[in-house]
Amino acid sequence: MIFENTKDFARQLDDQDVLQKYKGEFIFPKVNGKNVIYFTGNSLGLQPKRTKSYVDEIMNDWAELGVEGHFFAQKPWWDYQERFAEPLSKIVGSLPSEVTVMNTLTVNLHLLMVSFYRPTKTRFKIICEEKAFPSDQYMFQSQVRFHGYNPEDAIVEIKRRDGEHNIRTEDVIAKINEVGEEVALVLIGGVNYYTGQVFDIRSITAAGHQVGAKVGWDLAHAAGNVKLELHDWEVDFAAWCSYKYMNSGPGNAAGCFVHEKHHSNKDLPRFAGWWGHNKEKRFKMESEFDPVEGVDGWQISNLPVLSLAPYLASVEMFDEVGMQVLIEKRKRLTAYLEFILTEIDNEVTSSFEIITPSNSSERGCQLSVLVHGEGKNLFGYLMKQGVIIDWREPNVIRLAPVPFYTSYEDVFNFGQILKKGMLK
């Protein structure tokens, strides 16, 4: 498609957008009395208007039923998490039995590493990407120390080539093959939080398995954003937060995936708890742990249904629309943002650089812009003008136009505000 940097063209694209009505399903903050242009869905998604009714339902059931809400609420609490299995499986490309919700992201990754990071004297290394999200870095360091290894010996980071912003798939695979039989685990972010690069999950997973390693993925920036086929790609495990593209609210309950091939292995180590025990016998209070068949067997505690309610509201919205429709709009919307940025860059003397891959298969909603010169001042100006974005040191502005609630006119208007700010 040939884009145009005009309001009329942007409105034409909005008129053709089958998701246009969903913008009205979200609550927008205001700056100077006007709805903001919200480009930080990669950090915290907006609140769906329907969320309140899902939370109120639980509050009302709690008020009216007390403890009996576990079994007699409109959506009984004791199996509340099971409502996520079908819609989440469509979002991440899995069987319903392979996905569940529990805890928060890094907690889930730690718990899954109990099962899938089993180092030995000869096979103990973890391969991850350079500049992984800090929480992942801390997790790796603490895990290898817990097992008695030195992080400098056990953690292998895949580097970017000199002068390049993104990591090449062939370099990931080459490093896996180089470390070979010493690799216990490959664990990478499916979408790099800083650059927005989408990794080739299928190829990297296959390479890890080829050398005998387990392969997991941190999908914080991928779930609800990019196409995932976790079951078919034979990923061993994955985890993701729910408050970015899936709009469940700050720090809310997270999701996790364990491939079906591991479900029947009751000897696989895990940290057990009551909610992971055989559902049919849970209230018999047996002394020996008998895990639920499927990923629910990795659950530990009674689930916080007040946290799950906003997540369910959003997940059901995803189910109404379908990931393919979201992905199609995301590709066009992000391409239009890239076009607008390029147009503005050609018109102003201050320059910036998009460091996210230009290939649509290697990126999701996010474009990371390396701002030369007065980057922090430009960030501050945009925020004051009602463009909500985020800043990552040393000089990157991240922009994430989310298909559910970002319009093409938003992207055009952002370009006009950006141009004015760079000409000041």
**Any bridge partners for residue 367, and if so which?**
399
- In single-letter form, the type of residue at position 199 comes to F
- Block residue for tokens 């890890």: 208
pLDDT of res. 350? 66
User: CATH code at 360?
Assistant: 3.90.1150.10
- In single-letter form, the type of residue at position 168 comes to R
pLDDT of res. 393? 85
Boundary of a domain, candidates 254, 287, 321 = 321
Total-model pTM: 0.96
Residue 101: strand, helix, or coil? strand
What are the backbone angles phi and psi of residue 148, rounded to the nearest 5°?
90, 20
Tell me the pLDDT of the chain (424 aa) as tens digits: 899 999 999 999 999 999 999 999 999 999 999 999 999 999 999 999 999 999 999 999 999 999 999 999 999 999 999 999 999 999 999 999 999 999 999 999 999 999 999 999 999 999 999 988 899 999 999 999 999 999 999 999 999 999 999 999 999 999 999 999 999 999 999 999 999 999 999 999 999 999 999 999 999 999 999 999 999 999 999 999 999 999 999 999 999 999 999 999 978 999 999 888 888 888 788 888 888 889 999 999 989 999 999 999 999 999 999 999 999 999 999 999 999 999 998 888 767 899 999 999 999 999 999 987 767 888 999 999 999 999 988 889 999 999 999 999 999 999 999 998 887 6
Q: State the pairing for strand pair 367-371/352-354.
A: antiparallel
Whether residues 296 and 340 fall in one domain: no
Exposure b/e, 153-162, CB count within 10 A at least 16 = b: ebbbebebee
Whether residues 181 and 308 fall in one domain: yes
Whether residues 170 and 312 fall in one domain: yes
Of 410, 309, 331, the residue nearest 51 (C-alpha):
309
Structure tokens at 376: 């922090």
- Residue 405, sorted as left (phi over 0), alpha (psi -120 to 50) or beta, turns out to be alpha
The answer to whether position 22 is within a domain reads yes
For the chain, what is the radius of gyration of the CA atoms?
Answer: 22
| DSSP letter assigned to residue 76 | -
pLDDT of res. 395? 87
Whether residues 314 and 327 fall in one domain: no
* Residue 393 CB coordination number (10 Å): 8
The answer to whether position 2 is within a domain reads no
Boundary of a domain, candidates 286, 321, 356 = 321
Whether residues 70 and 137 fall in one domain: yes
Structure tokens at 393: 């040191």
pLDDT of res. 403? 98
* Residue 274 CB coordination number (10 Å): 13
Boundary of a domain, candidates 296, 321, 346 = 321
Whether residues 34 and 59 fall in one domain: no
Domain that holds residue 261: 54-321
The answer to whether position 119 is within a domain reads yes
Whether residues 88 and 193 fall in one domain: yes
Number of structural domains (the chain) is 2
What are the backbone angles phi and psi of residue 99, rounded to the nearest 5°?
-125, 145
Of 225, 218, 213, 217, the residue nearest 334 (C-alpha):
225
Of 198, 190, 165, 131, the residue nearest 334 (C-alpha):
198
Whether residues 315 and 326 fall in one domain: no
